[in-house]
Chains A and B, each alone.
Chain A
Amino acid sequence: METLSTRGRLTRLVATVVTGALLLAGTLWGQDDHFPFGPFRMYSTAPGPDDDAPDTRVEGVDTTGRTVVLTEANSGLRRAEIEGQQQAYVDNPARLAQVARAYAEKNPGATPLTEVRIVVRWAGVEDSRPTGTSHDQVIATWTAP
């Protein structure tokens, strides 16, 4: 059998305890910013049984007036990334110009965007089940100068 030296054991023991303590601290007091020691907070919020559910999308309007839904594939940004920085976009809609830039970088031949907006589709929920109804709300708009 291949055994470890006393030093090898001690180093590993300390590494185990320190990593465990950091994970525990992240769960108790941390935020996503503390990755990889942040809390495992996937789906950890508790929306009420009758709270409408937000379904966010980003739309662009090009110079021909066509509306394009901006996705991970054509803008490089995931929907959750837009949502993660949502408040920054609401506070300063001019930030959406960067999304238009990302779209132009990703699609060199595409017609340029003159407007980018974040739209939240509020889907109805009752007794913790979807009702199938919804309404849209535009929360941030940038228009090319």
Chain B
Amino acid sequence: MDRAVRWLFEPVPKGRVAAFRTLVYLFVAADLVIFTPWVRNHADIPGELYQPLLVGRLLPLPTPTPLLVHGLFWVLLVIALLAATGRAPRLLGWTVFALYFEWMVIAMSYGKVDHDRVGLLVALAALATVGRVRHGDPEPTEAGGWALRVTQIAVICTYFLAAWAKLRFGGIDWVTGSVLARAIIRRGTELADLIAGVPYLLILAQLGILVFELASPLIFVLPQRFRTWAVAFFYSFHLVTFATITISFMPHLIALAGFLPLEKARLVYRRRGQEERHERPVV
């Protein structure tokens, strides 16, 4: 028990949390404008087609109107960018979490729920609890360690519980079924068409996906050096998914960065900067 708790609160450098936080809040802004701009289209849809999710009925959240959707878009955009600066981390953090959650309810209440958000939502909630952290600060923090750990757990849940859902809804026949053929017919690229032409390759891919998802929690017992390779493998899996059936899973990919020693990006950047300065001729 003690070991599990120590693992859950394993300290990480504050600089890593700061880097992850900046990445996450910048992504929220980018998500609004670039990655899921279609949410704004719900402003013009008649309220009769709004089928609120359970959480929307319980709270109860209002039926979206053009004013609500466009107002939320602009307020969230500004607050996410402010939060990315690291100022007032708790106040702005909780505000971004609440507004982004409502944005997601608006996104998913018209008949289609996406499953790529849980890691990001957990990251948004957990980051709001961390408090002040500065870029480049090597001091270890338990609060920041917990925030990154629960984000990692949510990311791995997205894989592992997805395998579980496949067994629940599709059964073991999922492996030998035609789910990938179906995905390719609906949204496949030319690369996917090539792959689909090879006999049994799609079935092999289905088996591979299930095995990979079921084995994903093993990342937590890997030594750090191999863990980074495992994360690289996860990213490559999503790269292939995007190249074949154009599904990006972008919010999940951002949460996945919670596994990486992001503070090193700053060190490399600074070291390069210093080298360049040294190379300058002294006049």
Contacts and interface: CB of A to CB of B under 8 A. Distances in A.
Contacts, number: 206
A137 B51 CA distance: 26
Given A16-B150, A35-B108, A45-B170, 7 more contacts: A4-B146, A24-B161, A42-B116, A47-B182, A53-B181, A55-B185, A129-B197
Given A35-B53, A84-B112, A129 B142 contact: no
A8 interface: yes
Interface in A1-17: 1-4, 8-9, 12-13, 16
A119 interface: no
Contacts of A101: 46
B161 A1 contact: no
A50 B176 CA distance: 11
A13 B8 contact: yes
A79 to B, nearest CB: 9
Contacts of A78: 38, 110, 112
B54 A33 contact: yes
Interface stretch (A61-69, A110-118, A120-128): A120-128
Interface of B: 5, 8-9, 11, 14, 38, 41-46, 48-49, 51, 53-55, 104-105, 108, 110-118, 121-122, 129, 139-143, 146, 150, 153-154, 157-158, 161-162, 164-166, 168-171, 173-174, 176-186, 193, 196-197, 199-200, 202-203
B135 to A, nearest CB: 16
